Chain A
Amino acid sequence: MVKRRIWLSVLLCCILAFTMLAGCASNETGSENNAAPTEDYSIKIGGSSTLAPIIAQCADSFTEEFKTWDKVDTSLPEEPIVIFVSTGGSGFGLKSAVDGTFDFGMVSKNLKDEEKEQFANGSITQLGSDVLIIGVNSENPVAQVKPDLTTEELVSIFSGKIKNWQELDPALPDRSIVVTVRDLGGGASEVFDSAVMKGTPISDEALQIPSMGALAGKIMDNKDTIGYVSSGLVNQNPDKITPISVDGIAPTLENINSGAYKIGRALLLVSKDKPDNMEQKFLDYLLSEKGLGVVEELGYVPVAR
C-alpha cells in the first residue's frame, strides 16, 4: 500500500512538472496557422489600442462575408482575404505607417499639421471620434440654471478651485461639488487634459473611478457629481445624465462631426501611399453602414456619411 502511494506521488510530481514546462512552450504555435500564403494579398494594420477592436471586428466580418478578393471586386484575383490587426499605441501606428511596416496606421488622436504633411501623398481617413461629454445628474439644478459652462469654469471645477456649487452660481445649492475623473494617465484623462485642463493638475480631491461605466453610474447615483463621460454612455441614459455645453457648444452630433465640440479625439487610419484597389475596398467597407455601425456599437461617434 505504502509503496503504491509513493509511486503515485512521484507520478503526480512528474505530471505537474511536465504540464508546467508544456505551458511555457505552447504559446508560440497556433497563431501561425492563419498566416498569409502570399503576402501581396494581405493588408497590415497596426497602432492605437482604442481603434484595434473596431478594425479587428470589421476585418472579421469583411473576411467572413467575402472570403476571397474576387468576390469583393471581379477585377481582383481569387485569393483569400487576409487582414492583420496589431496594437501598439497611436505613436507606434504613426511611425509604422510612415516607415511602411504597416499599410495603415491606426491613430486615435488629433493630428498636428506637421504630422498631416507626412501623409500628403497617402490617405487620412476618419472613422469617427472618441468624444467625452461633461455630464451632471439630471436632478442637479445646474442642468437648468447653468447648462453651459466655459472652459475656465471647467478648469476651476476640475482643479478644485471651485469646490461648491454655490460658488459657481448663487442660484445653486450650498453643496460641495463631487468631481469624478478616470485614472490619471489613461486615454480619457489624456483627452480631457489636452482639450480642457491644458496641463493644470486635476484636484487631489477628485474621485478616480476605475471604469467609464462606474463613472456614469456615480453621476446617476449622486446628484452633486460632475464628470466626463463617454458619449455612448450619455446616449444610453438620457434621463439620468444631462450633458453640459462647453463655451456655448452643445455636444450634439453635428457639433462633434464639424469639429466645433473640442473634447474628443479623432479615430483615424493613415497610410503613406495612396491605397491600392484592395485597400480602398476595405476602407469603403469601414465607411459603409456596417463599419460605422461597429464604431457606434463600441461607444464611439461615427463620422458623418
Chain B
Amino acid sequence: MIYRGLELKEKIISSIIISVATVSSLLLLAMLIFILRESWPIWSQIGVSGFLFGSSWRPLNTPPEIGILSMIVSTMWVAGGALLIAAPLGFGCAIFLAEFAPRPLAAILRPVINMLTGIPSVVYGFLGAAVLVKFFEVKFDLASGESLFAASLILAIMVIPFIVANSEAALRLVAPEYRHAGIALGVSRQYLTLRILVPLARKGMLGALVLAFGRAMGETMAVLMLAGNTLRLPGSWFDKGEPLSALIALELGSTTPAGSHYQALFAAGLVLVLMVIAVNIGINLLLNRLQKGG
C-alpha cells in the first residue's frame, strides 16, 4: 500500500516537472515565432543574404537600405574580444580558487568575484564611459575614446565571474579517484591540475565559456554607452562600431509598429538570438565529438 502511494507521488512530481519544462521551451519557441513573424516582410523582401551581408543601414531613406553586416561584425568583435580577455583570467582564477588558494583566501575571493555579477550593467557602462573613454582620449590622444575595445574590456569584467564560477564547479566535480591516483603516483600539484584535472573538466569549462559568450553578445547597456554606435563597418578591434543589441536598444523607441524600420530591428533581434543559439549548438556538437574521441 505504502509502496503504491509513493509511486503515485513520484508520477505526480515527474508530470509537474515535465509540464514546467515544456512550458519554458514552448516560451522560447513562441518568442522565436513572434520575432520571425514581426520581421517576416524584411526576409521576404530583402532576402537573407541581402539583410545579413548588406553593409549600409539607412532604414529611413526611400527606398530604405537595410543591411546589418557592420552590426554583426561589431557584435563578434565585442563579444569575441571580451572572451579573449576574460578567458585566460577567468580560467586562471578558477584553477587558483579550486586547487591552489588557501581556504581562507578562497573564502574571501569567491564572494567578491560573485559580487561582480550583481553590479547592474548600466553602472559598468557608466564607469566605462566616465573612466575608460576619458582614459583613452587622454592617454592615446584619440579624438574620441569610444571603441569596440573599450566595450570588450568592460564586458570582460562582466563575464569573468561566470567563467570563474562555472569552471571552478567543473573542476570540483572531477571524481576524487583521479586526484587520489595522482597523489599516490607522486606527481607535482601543477601536473595534477593542468594535465589531469583540467582535461577532465574541459567540458564544463568550455560550457562556461559559451555561457559567457552568449551573455557578452546579448549585453546591451554597457555596450551602448561604450562602442560609439557608428554605422561604419569596423575594420579592427579599436574602431568604433554598433553591435546588434545597441542598434535595437537605440532605435526601437522611435519606430512605428509594422513599419519597415521596426521590422528590420526585429529581424536584427532574430539574427542575434540565432547567433547565440548557434554558438550553443556548435559547442555542444564539439563537446560530443571531444568526448567520443577522448
B228: contacting residue among A207, A224, A225, CB under 8 A: A207
B12: contacting residue among A6, A201, A210, CB under 8 A: A6
Asked if B203 lies at the interface with its beta carbon under 8 angstroms from chain A, I say no
Verify B250–A183 contact, CB threshold 8 A.
yes
Which chain B residues lie closer than 8 Å to A184 at the CB level?
58-60, 251
Asked if B263 lies at the interface with its beta carbon under 8 angstroms from chain A, I say no
For the complex formed, measure the closest distance between the CB of B64 and the CB atoms of chain A, giving whole angstroms.
11
A207: contacting residue among B6, B229, B255, B256, CB under 8 A: B229
Verify A186–B254 contact, CB threshold 8 A.
yes
Asked if A185 lies at the interface with its beta carbon under 8 angstroms from chain B, I say yes
Asked if A57 lies at the interface with its beta carbon under 8 angstroms from chain B, I say no
How far, in whole Å, are A224 and B249 apart by their CA atoms in the complex? 26
Which chain A residues lie closer than 8 Å to B229 at the CB level?
183, 207-210
How far, in whole Å, are A183 and B9 apart by their CA atoms in the complex? 57
How far, in whole Å, are A6 and B20 apart by their CA atoms in the complex? 15
Contact with A along B141-161 (1 / 0, CB 8 A): 001111000000000000000
Verify A183–B144 contact, CB threshold 8 A.
no
Contact with B along A175-191 (1 / 0, CB 8 A): 11110000111110000
Verify B143–A6 contact, CB threshold 8 A.
no
Asked if A221 lies at the interface with its beta carbon under 8 angstroms from chain B, I say yes
For the complex formed, measure the closest distance between the CB of A205 and the CB atoms of chain B, giving whole angstroms.
5
A178: contacting residue among B13, B129, B143, B255, CB under 8 A: B143
Verify A10–B12 contact, CB threshold 8 A.
yes
Assuming the contacts A89-B256, A222-B137, A224-B144, asked whether A6 and B250 have C-beta atoms less than 8 A apart, the reply is: no
Verify A186–B253 contact, CB threshold 8 A.
yes
B232: contacting residue among A176, A177, A205, CB under 8 A: A205
Q: Which residues of A (175-230) have their CB < 8 Å from a CB of B?
A: 175-178, 183-187, 201, 204-210, 214, 218, 221-222, 224-225
For the complex formed, measure the closest distance between the CB of A232 and the CB atoms of chain B, giving whole angstroms.
20
Asked if B16 lies at the interface with its beta carbon under 8 angstroms from chain A, I say yes
Contact with A along B14-45 (1 / 0, CB 8 A): 00100010000000000000000000000000
Asked if A112 lies at the interface with its beta carbon under 8 angstroms from chain B, I say no
Asked if B224 lies at the interface with its beta carbon under 8 angstroms from chain A, I say yes
Which chain A residues lie closer than 8 Å to B255 at the CB level?
185
A224: contacting residue among B6, B58, B60, B143, CB under 8 A: B143
Which chain B residues lie closer than 8 Å to A201 at the CB level?
58, 61
Which chain B residues lie closer than 8 Å to A224 at the CB level?
143-144
Among residues of B, the one whose C-beta sits closest to the C-beta of A163 is B143
Contact with A along B222-241 (1 / 0, CB 8 A): 00110011111000000010
- 19 example contacts (A-B, Cβ-Cβ < 8 A) are as follows A2-B6, A2-B9, A9-B16, A10-B16, A13-B16, A13-B20, A89-B256, A177-B143, A184-B58, A185-B60, A185-B261, A201-B61, A207-B146, A207-B229, A208-B242, A208-B250, A222-B137, A224-B144, A225-B144
Residues of B at under 8 Å CB distance from A? 6, 9, 12-13, 16, 20, 58-61, 129, 133-134, 137, 143-146, 224-225, 228-232, 240, 242, 249-251, 253-256, 261
Task: Give 9 nearest A-B pairs by CB, closest first.
Answer: A208-B229, A204-B231, A186-B254, A176-B143, A204-B232, A183-B250, A178-B144, A185-B254, A224-B143
Additional pairs, 6, CB under 8 Å, beyond known A205-B232, A210-B250: A176-B143, A184-B58, A185-B59, A185-B254, A186-B253, A208-B242
